Amino acid sequence: MADSLLRIGIAGCGQAARIHVERLLREADVQIVGCADPLRESAESLAEAIAAKAGARPAAFDDYQALLDQRPDAVAIFTPHLRHYRQAMDALQAGIHVFVEKPLSTNPQEADDVVTLARGRKLKVAVGHQYRLRPSLAEARKRLAAESVGALRLVTATLSQPWLARQQEREAETSWRFDPKLSGGGLLADAGDHLVDSLLWTTGRTAREVFAVQGRLASGLDVVTAAAIRLEGDVPATLALSGVSQGSLFELNFFGERGRIRATDSLLEVDPGDGSAVVPVELPGPAESIDANFLAALRGLGPLSCSAEDALDTVRLSEAVARSAATGQVVQLV
């Protein structure tokens, strides 16, 4: 498949799909062959936008199965969270590779089913944990592995954004995110999934135990989450998510025995811990997009940045946080 045309189908035709499609169309030898969305007008609108950029107009469907009947090489799934599992499984059963926007699933057993089926069919499933490609987080991961600030003793991970304010906009584009029956919760399963994945990926550790509390709306939608987590090696971590902030913040602090590393989505700082000044780290530009990474993997030119198997621990921890908050109990992860 290295030198051949890649035929891609798009499931879910909202704003996220438009961003990813623009990236896909920058790559050589890529054709979008179909767009599917329960709102037929959304599929038609995206198909028209693709035609304006690429010349050829993909077919538009309101039925996901009709998209699979086009026999694309891969489908890219940008639908509400609780639809990811069924659509990924249907694509794999049809012999089609999958890119699925995070989260892979809100249910660990479903996520494991996807991994098992993909492995059995020898198909690729990529998950949109694009923060793994941020130079700041990649460098933090490298320095932590080398114990550049000594043995890791504590991690704090914080996300805040005016997420709930978007509910007031009442835009069809984002309204599903505020329905727990479609979102699988709220902020934790949405933007919070990036923070959970970044916490696990940068440290290279799995979670062993969690206790969490959440602030929810009457609908059951979570808007604030706080969790205490015991990582592998008995390293404690805290996770704090707020969707009611006036501004935005994405930050991880890694406290070692000889200093501290602070990483955001765009910068990295190292505190040597000896009283000298905090040192900002010069970072390279992003090497590739998550979409280019998926295409390269399909062509056998490199590994996936985040495969479905890689995403399992993130699904497990996110689900454990939600379950702990719902039950008021400490949840053990194995």
Residues 126, 177 share a domain = no
**pLDDT above 80 (res 115):** yes
Q: Is residue 295 part of a domain?
A: no
Q: Is residue 264 part of a domain?
A: yes
Instruction: Convert the pLDDT of each residue in 54-97 to its tens digit.
Output: 989 999 999 999 999 999 999 999 999 999 999 999 999 999 99
Which residue among 107, 130, 153 closes a domain?
A: 130
Mean pLDDT taken over the chain: 94
Closest C-alpha to 8, from 31, 28, 27:
31
Taking the complete model, does pTM exceed 0.85, yes or no? yes
Q: Is residue 229 part of a domain?
A: yes
Residues 167, 29 share a domain = no
Q: Is residue 300 part of a domain?
A: no
Largest CA distance in the chain: 63
Tally of structural domains, the chain: 2
Residues 154, 74 share a domain = no
Which position has the higher pLDDT, 169 or 259? 259
Residues 183, 234 share a domain = yes
Residues 202, 148 share a domain = yes
Give the pLDDT mean for 13-38: 95
Residues 151, 57 share a domain = no
Which residue reads 């059951």 in tokens? 220
pLDDT at 55: 87
pLDDT at 168: 61
Instruction: Convert the pLDDT of each residue in 262-298 to its tens digit.
Output: 999 999 999 998 889 999 999 998 778 999 999 999 9
Instruction: Supply the range of the domain harboring residue 122.
Output: 6-130
The Cα 164–Cα 246 span in angstroms is 10
Q: Is residue 31 part of a domain?
A: yes
Q: Is residue 33 part of a domain?
A: yes
Which residue among 81, 103, 130 closes a domain?
A: 130
Residues 222, 195 share a domain = yes
Residues 35, 66 share a domain = yes
Instruction: Convert the pLDDT of each residue in 153-185 to its tens digit.
Output: 999 999 999 988 876 665 556 678 888 888 888
Q: Is residue 43 part of a domain?
A: yes
Residues 189, 326 share a domain = yes
The alpha carbon torsion through 263, 269, 272, 276 (nearest 10 deg) reads -150
Contacts for 13 with CB less than 8 Å, ≥ 6 apart: 35, 36, 37, 39, 42, 43, 45, 46, 78
Q: What is the CATH number of the domain that holds 49?
A: 3.40.50.720
Give the tokens for residue 18. Answer: 């438009």
Q: Is residue 299 part of a domain?
A: no
Q: What is the CATH number of the domain that holds 272?
A: 3.30.360.10
Residues 153, 123 share a domain = no
Residues 120, 53 share a domain = yes
Residues 167, 124 share a domain = no
CA distances to 102, 112, 114, 286 from 242, in Å: 19, 29, 30, 27
Which residue among 130, 149, 168 closes a domain?
A: 130
